[in-house]
Amino acid sequence: MAVIHKRPKRKVSGGRYISFRKKRIFEMGSLPTLTKLKEKKSKIVRTKGGNTKYRLLGENMVNVYDPKTKKSSKVKIKNILENPANRHFVRRGIMTKGTVIDTERGKARITNSPGQENVINAVLI
């Protein structure tokens, strides 16, 4: 499915814009990457100019930072507790930035966008 970020077909008044060109590659978008709680799986995506991005499709490990001891460690994710982005994401096992997860070291909040950075970082709360 093609996602295009361009001017809409309709004006605010409801009238129609006349199309002056076809789709362009710089208007291209993509569907969101919904990172799930399962074994590590990532996908390489080719972008404009031949560059690459990584999409994290599944992960069960997290880099947890403890602000009290100022140390970081890699631990296993037990469960997803809450997700402020969408309440149904908890049921579906989807992790986004801001998601509260249960780890072996305690509760933690995800501080990065896992679907864009190919890794999950979190801070203990």
CA neighbor of 98 nearest in space, from 58, 72, 125, 118: 125
Q: What is the pLDDT of residues 87-113, one digit of tens each?
A: 999 999 999 999 999 999 999 999 999
According to CATH, what is the number of the domain 35-124? 3.10.290.70
- Sign of the alpha-carbon torsion through 81, 87, 89, 92: positive
Q: What is the pLDDT of residues 33-53, one digit of tens each?
A: 999 999 999 999 998 899 999
Banded pLDDT at 1 (limits 50, 70, 90):
low
pTM: 0.84
Percent of the chain whose predicted confidence (pLDDT) is above 70: 99
Percent of the chain whose predicted confidence (pLDDT) is above 90: 82
In contact, 122 and 109? CB cutoff 8 Å: yes
Banded pLDDT at 25 (limits 50, 70, 90):
confident
